[in-house]
Each structure stands twice: as C-alpha cells, then as structure tokens.
Amino acid sequence: GAVVSQHPSWVICKSGTSVKIECRSLDFQATTMFWYRQFPKQSLMLMATSNEGSKATYEQGVEKDKFLINHASLTLSTLTVTSAHPEDSSFYICSAPGQLFNEQFFGPGTRLTVL
C-alpha cells in the first residue's frame, strides 16, 4: 500500500513558540491531504483539508490563523502550530487519499507537547 510519512514523530516546545509538522506521500501524489487531531484516549477529529495550490479548508472551531496549512507540492503538506499553548498538546495525524475508491493512508502521527 501507499506510504505516508510525518516529521517529526514527536516534538516538545515552549509555550508561545511555533512548530511545523510535515506530511509527505512517499510513493504517490496527493492533491488533497487531511489533518486530524487526536487527544489521549479519544477519536480522530478532522481539523482541516489541505489542497495543493489553493487554500486549506478548516473545520468549524479550528482557528485557521493558529493552525497554518501549506500544501506546497503534490507530495508535501505542512501544518504549523503558531504560538503554541499547552492545550495544543495532542497527537497530530495526516492522511492522503489513494488511487482506489475513498481509501486513505495515514501517517504515523506527530506527538506535540507544549510546556
């Protein structure tokens, strides 16, 4: 199956700083990628849809100025958490659709801890 990578796998930062998370489709092109957030022992919640060459679409309640998404190429989407606060600490996971009907491939996730 298709492979999606994320970098870094974990990051610790101080409150008020910004953190960038990369999501790459390794062996296929993805004009669309999705960013999810997962709090401990909870389900995955969609944050935004990343679209190559256009603006991202954010879900209701997600601050677009705080969570900046850039889909720079057909294989790379980045999520930047700006002015991070402890409540932003979470597991961030990206996914990309494959070639077959609706299938999606998930990255390994990035654990963000804001001190």
Partner 1 sequence: QQQVKQSPQSLIVQKGGIPIINCAYENTAFDYFPWYQQFPGKGPALLIAIRPDVSEKKEGRFTISFNKSAKQFSLHIMDSQPGDSATYFCAASPTGRRALTFGSGTRLQVQP
For partner 1, the binding residue among 28, 49, 76, 113 (CB under 8 A) is: 49
Side-chain-side CA neighbours of 52 within 13 Å: the count stands at 14
For partner 1, the binding residue among 13, 32, 66, 80 (CB under 8 A) is: 32
Q: Does 107 bind partner 1 (CB under 8 A)?
A: yes
DSSP 61-86: T--TTTEEEEEEETTEEEEEE-S--G
Shortest distance, position 83 Cβ to partner 1, whole Å: 26
CA-wise closest residue to 67 among 80, 49, 58: 80
The contact set with partner 1 (CB under 8 A) reads 1, 4, 6, 32, 34, 42-46, 49, 91, 93, 95, 97, 101-109, 111
